[in-house]
Amino acid sequence: MRIILLGPPGAGKGTQAEKLAAHLNIPKISTGDMLRAAVSEGTDLGRQAQEYMDSGKLVPDAVIIDLVENRVSAPDCKNGCLLDGFPRTLVQAKALDRAGIDLDYVVELVVDDEEIVQRMSGRLSHPGSGRSYHKIFNPPKVEWVDDITGDPLVQREDDKEETVRHRLHVYHKQTAPMVEFYRGLSTDCPKFVEVQGVGKVDEVFERILSELNI
């Protein structure tokens, strides 16, 4: 089974991707992993990618598609794979389709933006130890103070509300046309499904398995 798992930042996509890949005993493939492997192995595609990265340029979609084609044809993908972080845009989705890389499911984790903002903008951490807190779900005993050391807590730049809202805007702008593309395909493969991403991790996971009929 070949699956694409989509989801906004903070929706729990990474956790669900790991669980799903383990449950199905298929590899979770990310473009970053593929690029690093191709470069370290010194393949033709790896050398091409390295040239772009060395010059500070984005690796073109055509090179990424070739990497995906090579990767999904590897022996460990004979029973399927889970594509993580690709495609990200409509251009990439169409290129993947033109390359004839068959997919079974495109799954989107759906979480309301305000829920995402609450989840992410509430995160706090202790720089020295990495201990994490949440303003609502796991608050420190004293506001903005580490329970153990009494040191001030900090909020990562990525978790500030304005940053979270910007990331969500970018996600929706990129993903909405891609979702419509997969919804509008004339064939039943890949089948596009939405899964509500609010709830306990295991509850969301069971919803995904139900949609995949496994």
2 is catalytic: no
160 is catalytic: no
Active-site hit among 2, 13, 28, 71: 13
**Tens digits of per-residue pLDDT, 24-45?**
999 999 888 888 888 999 999 9
Active-site hit among 36, 47, 78, 156: 156
Active-site hit among 88, 131, 135, 165: 88
Query: Could you confirm whether domain 2-26+80-122+155-211 is CATH 3.40.50.300?
Result: yes
Comparing 73 with 206, which gets the higher pLDDT? 206
123 is catalytic: yes
The per-type count for the chain, helices as H runs and strands as E runs, is 8, 7
13 is catalytic: yes
Q: Which residue from 186, 208, 31, 214 is spatially nearest to 106, judged by alpha carbons?
A: 208
pLDDT band at 86 (very low <50, low <70, confident <90, very high): confident
Q: What is the pLDDT of residue 157?
A: 92
Q: What mean pLDDT is predicted for residues 88-116?
A: 93
Domain spans, the chain: 2-26+80-122+155-211, 31-78
47 is catalytic: no
Q: Which residue from 72, 100, 90, 95 is spatially nearest to 2, judged by alpha carbons?
A: 72
Q: What mean pLDDT is predicted for residues 133-160?
A: 96
Query: What integer best gives the mean pLDDT of the chain?
Result: 93
Looking from the CA of 12 toward its CB, the CA atoms found within 13 Å total 21
Q: What is the pLDDT of residue 85?
A: 80
Dihedral, 106, 108, 109, 112 alpha carbons, nearest 10: 180
Q: Is the pLDDT of residue 214 over 90?
A: no
Secondary structure class of 86 (helix, strand, coil)? coil
Q: Is the pLDDT of residue 72 over 80?
A: yes
Active-site hit among 2, 28, 119, 123: 123
Q: Which residues contact 103 (CB under 8 A, 6 or more apart)?
A: 2, 3, 4, 96, 189, 190
